[in-house]
A and B are shown apart, each in its own frame.
Chain A
């Protein structure tokens, strides 16, 4: 979420000559960098150093191992289903909440936030209570041969649950801040509702949208606790990447475990770099035009 993009008026107070004395600036930067180093950089470096402890060949071999490949495929499938669904929901929810006033709005926003703060232990448990053999729907599902938990649908559901609020959470403040004058103008000029959304709203929110998608995606791929409860841990079938990491680690296969883990860390870094690049391109374009 780079300032240059979110603040289209392009005002940089540092450049405007108002800033702290150099000493304080240096101090602040040092403190921040130290904090991030201790909490982020050291753990990250540790992941990669352990992943490469046995060399590049072992690293690549452990990523090519059949069970790991299946885990990667399952994780991608899960993200591919859950992210678009939550994207659609996020847009609908933000539209309703930001553009309209109705009683109970705070309650609705809170309920949308709720999955975020529900312990992964609970978010897995609820689907077991619902779809488990001893649960509400379990006996019926079992009689009809439908598998939800301990199979892919359960993993997808749990993932949708844990990534539920992210897109909506990104969009609501953004759309609230932008108000609705532009949309109203378009509508008065005769555009249809959908055209207004596509031509007016969407360009305004696309960066928030992208950021929400990136967050959802990262979380969808990295979720461990909830998925662990509903997965059943069947090797080569219902293990996602994070579960595969745990399995490898518990098999005393430390280098391979961290190699697979580094894949997720790497994925996160790549998406974030890509995002920065896109933002930079947009700013270049706007400054030329």
Chain B
């Protein structure tokens, strides 16, 4: 039956009765080129004024390497934290009855709506030595503001909505029958979660992870206020681009920009391919 179904699908695709393919795809590509591709290509063209050797030595200079390690490393960590707590939050929001759940639900989108500069100022206020949270942490030797830990806090903050928002609808949409069946067969809650629920929400988690990671890597506005910006220690890659611009070094700035662009592009592409595969696998 699944085999037959698959064939039937393929057949119907070949003679799709739904109209508007040319129009919608044409418009999509036109608008995409106008707003995204042509402007982004200017970065590549500008950086191409470098020879390959200069380009390579610019993007692999020690200070740049340190900033990549910091930016990508902390973004990865932040995205992981968001995965764990994002799935938990989505679970609680989708499955439990909770007084004031709507408020919590609405709050999750806050990092998205708050301008990054405000987020940065606020986080620096709250987590610095004299802030509401910082004053409890500092006596224990934990310094958050103006250290790489501050960058982690900022990146976690701005990436928070993504895992929740991708996992929550999938979790709510899951058919209860499977879980019921598993329970009837004697599986305990943990087994049900890890064997039945988790595989079904994994693609959504991965998407959320990628979105949170990609967003964190490019973040500038909020990090600048809380990072301390010490060279080699707490200097993120976007700041290096700004520093290069400040010296009117446009080719240098765009060279680093191309590195960031390709990383975001490949992360997103990998996730999209992975999702496509998992969807095919699931069906």
Contact = CB atoms under 8 A, between A and B. Distances in A.
A129 B180 CA distance: 58
A7 B176 CA distance: 11
Interface in A83-113: 89, 92-93, 95-97, 99-102, 106-113
A16 interface: yes
Nearest to B264: A117
Interface in B66-97: 85, 88-89, 91-92, 94-97
Given A6-B172, A13-B176, A119-B219, A46 B214 contact: no
Contacts of B142: none
Interface string B251-268: 001100100110011011
Interface string A107-128: 1111111111111111001110
Interface string B204-235: 00000001001101111100000000000000
Interface residues of B, number: 104
Contacts, number: 301
B255 to A, nearest CB: 12
Contacts of B133: 38, 42
Given A46-B125, A119-B219, A120-B218, A110 B265 contact: yes
A221 interface: yes
Contact of A3 (B110, B116, B172): B172
A44 B24 CA distance: 41
Contacts of B58: none
B132 to A, nearest CB: 6
Nearest to B217: A117
A122 B257 contact: yes
A112 B269 contact: no
A130 B39 contact: yes
Interface stretch (A55-63, A231-239, A263-271): A263-271
30 contacts: A1-B172, A12-B176, A13-B174, A28-B88, A32-B88, A40-B108, A43-B122, A46-B132, A92-B23, A93-B32, A96-B25, A99-B16, A100-B16, A102-B25, A111-B37, A118-B261, A120-B116, A122-B241, A122-B260, A130-B39, A136-B42, A161-B39, A164-B36, A187-B17, A188-B17, A193-B20, A197-B20, A224-B221, A264-B115, A272-B109
